[in-house]
Structure 1
């Protein structure tokens, strides 16, 4: 099922405003848990964890964000 352009725009805004902050809190909590459980990771490994988690959140939402910044293809030209 393909989403309309306006639906994708609204959904992408909801993901960015609500979902992304929640994901950031979850990612930092996970990193802190890893530090508490196994000790502090080396700085490059910690950066790799944060970069990996930074890319990981967007993978399921690629179809929502694709083409949202462009003009509405469903709109009729005047």
Structure 2
């Protein structure tokens, strides 16, 4: 069963306010376990991690910025 617009908005808020900061802390700690790479490589690693975190949540974030399609207009 697909999520309703309202549920997707709530889940996107939880993901952005709780999940993303946790992901950032984990990503920084994992990268810190290794010797510091050159600055350009470190930048590429963080950019790649920035894209990777959102891939599982594409369906949740899709259409969130638009008007509620389930809402009936009077």
TM-score norm. by structure 2 comes to 0.96
Residue number in structure 1 paired with 2:65: 69
Residue number in structure 2 paired with 1:19: 19
Tell me the distance in 2 between the aligned counterparts of 1:65 and 1:16.
Answer: 10
TM-score norm. by structure 1 comes to 0.91
Residue number in structure 2 paired with 1:40: 36
Q: Which consecutive aligned stretches of 4+ in structure 1 deviate over 4 angstroms post-superposition? A: none
- Residue 74 of structure 1: SS of its match in structure 2? coil
Unmatched tracts of structure 2, length 5 or more: none
- Residue 63 of structure 2: SS of its match in structure 1? coil
Question: Aligned-pair distance for 1:31?
Answer: 1.0
Residues matched between the structures, number: 74
